[in-house]
Amino acid sequence: MNQFYQQQGRPNPLEDLKKFFRGSSILPRLIIINIGIWVLVQIAFAIGWAFNYSVPLIEHTILEYFALPASLDLLIYRPWTLLSYMFLHTSFLHILFNMLWLYWFGKIFTQYLSQRQLLTTYLLGGLVGGILFVFTYNIFPVFSDIIPQARALGASASVMAIVAAISLYMPNYTISLILFGRVKIFYLALALFILDFFMIRHGNAGGHIAHIGGAVYGFLYIHYLRRGRDFSKIFPKIKRKEKRRPTIKRKPKKTNAKRPSSDEDFNKDRAVKQKKIDDILDKISRSGYDSLTKDEKELLFNQSNKK
């Protein structure tokens, strides 16, 4: 399989996926945590089924303690649900689409912004989405009859925050969509936002409201970031762990002493590197990320991890 992709001059998607999950960045960790919790939920369902327990009753218990309740009376006693709900999924399709969107837009996000900013956007976007869900259900009379039963769960609000943030930060970045061709991600995010707004009356109102809350946070985050206010600084800086290499004692070699680089040489070298990055970003804006060569993708990836 690897030989086939090498002959075609294309990267092996399976190898890229393995490399992605072996990395120490925040994005694969978020995906692994979400999938891991979903697997635990499915194991609980399977054990309950095997011992003739009611699976709906098990699901109800899980939602009761880990999904976000709309009722303020319940939320007071379960404040942790403001965090736990954004990692909880019970259905396969729900987690599948959320993780696909998180993977696609999370990779775009980390090309231009830092790991810490990704984590902040995920957590605070989910938090704002959850708060808006609780607020609207307690303010508008149309929801008064279903407040005791209403629950929010899933990473959708967090994912929408990431989509909205990177679409405002890089509005001209284009992706390929079936039936639509190349589309700027800003228009895609705007379409999703409008769709969520109009779908509130047609079922899953809580989910659509949480999506809107996440998107609003994402837009506001970039708005304030451009004005020098970075909300991600409330979190400690994320450092990538590097494997220690064994030290090998070597005999000193005779070399001609070279003078250290001057400030002028250093600045020249940095300017050349920045020019390469700017050229790559221009190429992405014109033709999309898929048009980059393997070396250009690697250079962009390495540069983003330095943040």
Phi-psi region of 57 (alpha: psi -120 to 50; beta: other; left: phi over 0): alpha
Q: What is the pLDDT of residues 283-306, one digit of tens each?
A: 776 776 667 787 777 777 776 655
CATH superfamily of 2-234: Rhomboid-like (1.20.1540.10)
Q: What is the pLDDT of residues 88-146, one digit of tens each?
A: 999 999 999 999 999 999 999 999 999 999 999 999 999 999 999 999 999 999 999 99
Which region among 37-51, 104-118, 206-220, 266-280 has the lowest average model confidence (pLDDT)? 266-280
CATH 1.20.1540.10, the chain: domain bounds: 2-234
H-type alpha helices, the chain: 2-8, 13-22, 26-50, 55-66, 72-77, 81-84, 92-112, 115-139, 156-169, 185-199, 205-225, 263-287, 294-304
The DSSP 8-state label assigned to residue 154 in this structure reads: S
Q: CA torsion sign, 34 to 37 to 42 to 45?
A: negative
| 219/171 Cα distance (integer angstroms) | 12
> For residue 118, what pLDDT is reported?
96
Which region among 19-33, 77-91, 116-130 has the lowest average model confidence (pLDDT)? 19-33
pTM of the model: 0.72
Which region among 169-173, 185-189, 227-231 has the lowest average model confidence (pLDDT)? 227-231
Which region among 234-243, 246-255, 262-271, 295-304 has the lowest average model confidence (pLDDT)? 246-255
User: Which candidate, 38, 121, 129, 118, places its Cα nearest to that of 81?
Assistant: 129
| 295/291 Cα distance (integer angstroms) | 12
| 276/4 Cα distance (integer angstroms) | 30
Tokens of 192: 């999703």
Please name the residues in contact with 216: beta carbons below 8 A apart, sequence gap of 6 or more.
128, 132, 164
pLDDT of 33 above 80: yes
**Are 154 and 35 spatial neighbours (Cβ–Cβ below 8 Å)?**
no
Q: How many of the other CB atoms lie within 10 Å of CB of 93?
A: 8
Matching residue, tokens 């639509």? 180
Q: At 21, is the pLDDT very low, low, confident or very high (cuts 50, 70, 90)?
A: low
181 strand-pairing partners: 177
Share of the chain above pLDDT 90, in %: 61
Q: What is the pLDDT of residues 166-181, one digit of tens each?
A: 999 999 999 988 888 8
Average pLDDT, the chain: 84
Q: How many of the other CB atoms lie within 10 Å of CB of 154?
A: 26
CA distances (Å), 85 to each of 62, 82, 119, 204, in order?
A: 11, 6, 16, 16
